[in-house]
Structure 1
Amino acid sequence: MADTSADLLIHRNRLGEGVLEVTFNRPERRNAFTKAMYAEMRALWEATAADRSVRVVVLRGAGGKAFAAGNEISDFLEADAVDYENWIREMFDRLWSLPQVTIAAVDGVCVGGGLAVATHCDLRVATTASRFGYPIARTLGNALSGTVLYRCQAIFGESLTREMLLASRLVSAERAYAVGALLGVVPDAEALEAELRALVSGIVQASPVTIETTKRQLLSRARGLESSMPGEQDLLRSVYGGPDFAEGVRAFLAKEKPAFGG
C-alpha cells in the first residue's frame, strides 16, 4: 500500500509488516526540503506517534544521489527566517520523539536539513558513496539552531562536527562509521536494501515495551543537555538579518559563488 504525494512518497509494509517507509522524492533538486514537505512530515509524525501498528519508520531519498540536500532556499524569503527555523525544529522534535525506531537510509549526499533529519533518527545506515555535512559557512552564511547543532555533535562527535561547520568539509561514510554515527556502510543501493530488510526484521520481533521505554529514557537524558544557549534567538535573528545571509541567498539563487564580507 502506498500513499503518494508529489514530493513525499509513503509506503506501508513494503519492507516488512509494521514498517512505514518515507521517501523524499525531489531527485531533480537532490531531494531538498520544501515548506510543504516539512508540513507533511510534521503531520505524519503526529499521526505515526499514535499508530501502534507501526514498529519502524525508514526515511530515504529518491534518485540514488542524495538523501536530502538541505532546504529549498526560496522558502526562507517568504517568512521570518528564524520563525521558519523554529517551526522546522518542531518537526525535528516530533521525529525524535516517535516511540517507533527510526532509521535514516542514506545513499548519496546528506547535508543541511537532510543531515538534521538523519541525526534526529535513532539509527543510520549508508552506502560508501554517501557524504555528510553542513557546508553553510561557504554557501549561505547562516547558522544552525543550538538543538540541531547538539544532535550533530551527539551523533558525529565534536571533532567531526567542527570539521563540518568550521572547515565546510563533507565527511565520508567510512569516517562517519568509524565514530559510530552509522551502524553500517554498504557498497551500493542493492546492499542497502538488503541491510534495511535484515535490520527491520530484527526490530519488529523485539519487545515494543523495551524499545518504547528505552526511547523515552534516551529522550529524557538528551533533552537535559540540548537546551539552547541564552540569547540564541537574538543571535540567530542577527545572522539571518545580516549581510552574509543576504549575499548567500542571492548567490545561491543566481548559481554564483558568494562573496561574504562578515
Structure 2
Amino acid sequence: MSEQEITIHRDRLGAGVVEVTFNRPHRRNAFTRAMYGELRALCEELREDRSVGVLVLRGAGGKAFAAGNEISDFLDTDAVAYENWIRELLEMLFALPQVTIAAVDGVCVGGGLAVATHCDLRVATAASRFGYPIARTLGNALSASIVYRCAATFGESLTREMLLASRLVTADRAYAVGAVAACVDDAAALDAEVAALADGIGHASRVTLRVTKDQLHRRALATEAAPADEEAMLTEVYNGPDFREGVRAFLAKEKPAFGRD
C-alpha cells in the first residue's frame, strides 16, 4: 500500500484527537485491503490507549468519504472470508472506547457507509449522499450486522430505500432522521463542526463516555446479531452468477446484466 492511501495525524485537532484521512481521491477513496488492514491495526492500538479520546475519520478530495471497496480485491480471495474480515474490523471500530466521528464530504456509499454507521457521530456537508446501491452495481449482499447497523442509524424506511431501490439519501434527509448530527454548507463549515465536537468531547468525563459507549454497545449486540445461517447465505451470493456479472461489469465499466431468477 502506498503510504499516501491513508494518513493518520495525532493531536492536530487538539490533544487526544486522532484524525484518519482516506486518501485515494482518484478512486473516490474506495477502500483497499491494505487500507482496511491499517485501520484495523489502529483500532487494535486505540482500544488500549487511554490518552486518546476522539477518533475522526474523513475522506480526501471533497468528492467522497469513501465510495465502497476496491472491487479488484475480491478477485483473488474468498469473498465471504473477506466480507467477514471487514465485518470484524467494523465491530472493532464500533466497540472502541473513544468517541468516533465520521466527517462526510461527498459520496458515502458501500464500505464507506458501513464505516460511517459504525462511528458514534456523523457530520456531513449538504452535498453529501449516503447509500448501498449494490443491487444495481455488484449483485452481492451485506452482512446482516451491517444492515442492522444501518437501520439503527437511518431507520428502517431509509435503509429499505437505500438497499431495495438503490437510491442515495441526501444529507438533509439523513439529518432529519438523526443519522447525522449536523448538516453544514461546505468543507470549511465541516472542519469547524468537527473541531467544535472534538473540543467539547475533550472536556467531557472520559469515564462517562466510556461507560455510556459500553452500554450502547451491549444494546447493539443484543439487537443486531447476525442469523446463524448467514455465512451459508453469503456464500451462495458470492459464488452466484449475479456477483460474477457485477464484478465483470464493474471492472469493464459497463452496466451489469443480472439474471431474473
Paired residue for 1:58, among 56, 59, 74? 56
Root-mean-square deviation (CA, aligned residues, Å) is 0.8
Q: Which has the larger displacement, 212-221 or 4-13?
A: 4-13
Q: Is the partner of 2:155 in helix, strand or coil?
A: helix
Cross-structure match for 2:93: 95
- Measured in 2, the distance between the counterparts of 1:191 and 1:5 equals 28
Residue 30 in 1 paired to residue 64 in 2? no
In the TM superposition, 1:61-100 aligns within 5 A as 61-100=59-98
d(CA) in 2 for partners of 1:26 and 1:9? 11
For 1:78, what is the secondary structure of its paired residue?
coil
| Residue in structure 1 matched with residue 15 of structure 2 by the alignment | 17
Query: SS at the partner of 1:17?
Result: coil
Deviations 1:37-87 (A, max 9, x none): 011111100001111111100000000000000000011111110000001
Map 1:1-262; keep pairs closer than 5 Å.
5-262=3-260
Corresponding letter in the other structure for 2:139? G
The whole-number CA distance in structure 2 between the counterparts of 1:141 and 1:223 is 27
Matches of 1:213 and 1:52, distance apart in 2: 14
| Equivalent residue letter for 1:117 | V
**CA distance in 2 between partners of 1:86 and 1:78 (Å):** 16
Shift of 1:230: 2.8
Q: Distance in 1 between matches of 2:220 and 2:32?
A: 28
Task: List runs of 5+ in structure 1 lacking aligned partners.
Answer: none
Q: Give secondary structure in 1 for the equivalent of 2:51.
A: coil
Deviation at 1:89, TM superposition (A): 0.6
CA drift of 1:164 comes to 0.1
Quote how far apart the aligned CAs of 1:225 are.
Answer: 0.9
Q: 3-state DSSP class of the match of 2:208?
A: helix
CA displacement 1:13-52 (0-9 Å, x = unmatched): 1111110000000000000000000111111000011111
Structure 1: which 4+ aligned runs deviate by more than 2 Å? Answer: none
For structure 2, the residue ranges without an aligned partner over 5 or more in a row are none
SS in 1 for 2:124: strand
Give the alignment's TM-score, normalised by structure 2: 0.98
Q: Which amino acid aligns with 2:22?
A: F
Which AA in structure 2 matches 1:192?
A: L
Measured in 2, the distance between the counterparts of 1:221 and 1:196 equals 26
TM-score, with length taken from structure 1: 0.98
| Post-superposition CA distance 1:164-188 (Å, at most 9, x none) | 0000000000000000000000000
What are the Cα deviations for residues 174-216 of structure 1, in whole angstroms up to 9, with x where unaligned? 0000000000000000000111111111000000000000000
- Give the SS at the match of 1:224: helix
Cα distance in 2, alignment partners of residues 18 and 228 from structure 1: 34
